[in-house]
């Protein structure tokens, strides 16, 4: 491509990005800290996790067998997000419906959707699911790395089946990320609404989801949010190590693969940013993460994602679906207009 052609591609990509609804399906960074980055990067909304099914830190495995006390932790995480929103009421709002996301964008504000990475916050009690929904929870990842009252390697528990049915009734997005395979299949057979994998990648390119799982999510009219983190994007070398270099080319490789397998309507932005110091750094190191890197540095660089897709030849409509329209469609289908 000529220099002139490169400039034209860049100009078109930036204009397209500015016209698009850009939504991040999974994130851990504090709202207040991230709002300036979201504004610079044209990100109109993100799903913020109010908790994780583990104690963040080097000794996280000690929390595997702890099944109580998680509702309190989630409430504290929820309070932190709500206080951030109150402090930045002119910049952001809590989104309870798809319409709230669009209204926030129209008003020049960011929309925050509440999620949680793991179902321990329910502590085996269905009324807690209803309570968290009333408080604003709109997306729930059923498990993290450990079994909980909802699911384990043997599949969904009886309580887990109740949770799936109630999430369908209430209008909460079911997130199958990190879910054991038998439980994954159980949810697919039980849900009557679209499901998501909020942050994942195709095993056909690197790691994580096999083709059957990807097709199953697509069959529910759901979306796979492509992970930006090195563990998921960096290529696996013949000796089993991760390739040292990766970036947006690897992200678009995932897009290419998913589009060929299930079509453009089932792809979104998984991202999964989290703090890079302190307990979060210890948490990653003890899991064997040697590269605490993402395909972009932070949400302010999201226009680079659009440029990478345009450069690879994706049309405007396709790009806009990936950036946010696909996930917005799921929001409408699950928790309403």
Taking the chain (337 residues) in runs of 10, the rounded mean pLDDT of each run is 60 95 98 97 98 92 92 98 97 97 96 98 98 98 95 97 98 97 98 98 95 98 96 85 87 98 98 93 87 93 97 98 98 92
pLDDT in tens, 149-179: 999 999 999 999 999 999 999 999 999 999 9
**Count of all residues that appear for the chain in the document:** 337
* CB proximity list for 241: less than 8 A, separation 6 or greater: none
Question: What SS3 class is residue 137?
Answer: strand
Query: Tell me, what's the pLDDT at 121?
Result: 98
Domain, as residue range, for 109: 3-335
Looking up tokens 């109740």 gives: 162
Give the β-pairing of 195-200 and 155-156: unpaired
Query: Tell me, what's the pLDDT at 3?
Result: 46
Angle 83-89-93 (CA atoms, 0-180°, nearest 5)?
A: 85
Query: Tell me, what's the pLDDT at 282?
Result: 87
Lookup: tokens for 256: 């290419």
pLDDT in tens, 179-189: 999 999 999 99
Query: Tell me, what's the pLDDT at 291?
Result: 79
Strand locations in the chain, DSSP E?
Answer: 22-27, 43-52, 92-94, 110-117, 137-141, 151-152, 155-156, 173-175, 195-200, 223-227, 267-271
Query: Tell me, what's the pLDDT at 23?
Result: 98
Query: Tell me, what's the pLDDT at 8?
Result: 59
* CB proximity list for 157: less than 8 A, separation 6 or greater: 149, 150, 151
CATH number of the structural domain spanning residue 295: 3.20.20.140
Query: Tell me, what's the pLDDT at 288?
Result: 84
Give 269's strand partners. Answer: 24, 226
Max CA pair span of the chain: 61
User: Considering its fold, how many domains does the chain have in total?
Assistant: 1
């Amino acid at each position: 491509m000529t220099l002139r052609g490169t400039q034209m591609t860049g100009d078109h990509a930036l204009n397209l990005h500015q016209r698009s609804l850009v939504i991040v399906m999974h994130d851990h960074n504090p709202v207040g800290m991230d709002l300036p980055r979201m504004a610079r990067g044209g990100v109109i909304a993100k799903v913020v996790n109010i908790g994780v099914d583990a104690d963040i830190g080097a000794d996280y495995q000690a929390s595997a067998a702890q099944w109580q006390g998680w509702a309190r932790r989630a409430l504290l995480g929820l309070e932190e997000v709500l206080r951030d929103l109150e402090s930045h009421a002119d910049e952001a709002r809590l989104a309870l419906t798809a319409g709230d996301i669009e209204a926030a964008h129209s008003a020049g504000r960011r929309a925050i959707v509440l999620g949680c990475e793991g179902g321990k916050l329910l502590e085996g009690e269905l009324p807690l699911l209803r309570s968290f929904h009333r408080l604003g929870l709109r997306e729930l990842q059923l498990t993290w790395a450990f079994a909980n009252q909802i699911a384990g390697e043997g599949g969904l528990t009886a309580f887990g089946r109740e949770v799936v049915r109630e999430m369908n009734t209430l209008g909460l997005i079911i997130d199958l990320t990190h879910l054991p395979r038998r439980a994954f299949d159980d949810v697919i057979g039980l849900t009557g609404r679209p499901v998501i994998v909020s942050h994942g990648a195709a095993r056909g390119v690197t790691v994580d989801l096999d083709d059957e799982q990807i097709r199953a999510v697509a069959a529910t009219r759901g979306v796979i949010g492509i992970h930006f983190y090195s563990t998921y994007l960096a290529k696996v070398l013949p000796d089993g190590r991760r390739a040292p270099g990766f970036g947006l080319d690897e992200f678009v490789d995932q897009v290419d693969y998913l589009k060929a397998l299930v079509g453009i309507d089932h792809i979104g932005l998984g991202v999964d940013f989290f703090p890079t110091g302190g307990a979060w750094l210890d948490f990653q190191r003890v899991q064997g993460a040697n590269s605490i890197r993402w395909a972009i540095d932070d949400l302010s660089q999201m226009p680079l994602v659009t440029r990478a897709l345009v450069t690879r030849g994706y049309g405007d409509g396709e790009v806009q679906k990936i950036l946010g329209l696909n996930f917005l469609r799921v929001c409408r289908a699950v928790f309403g207009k």
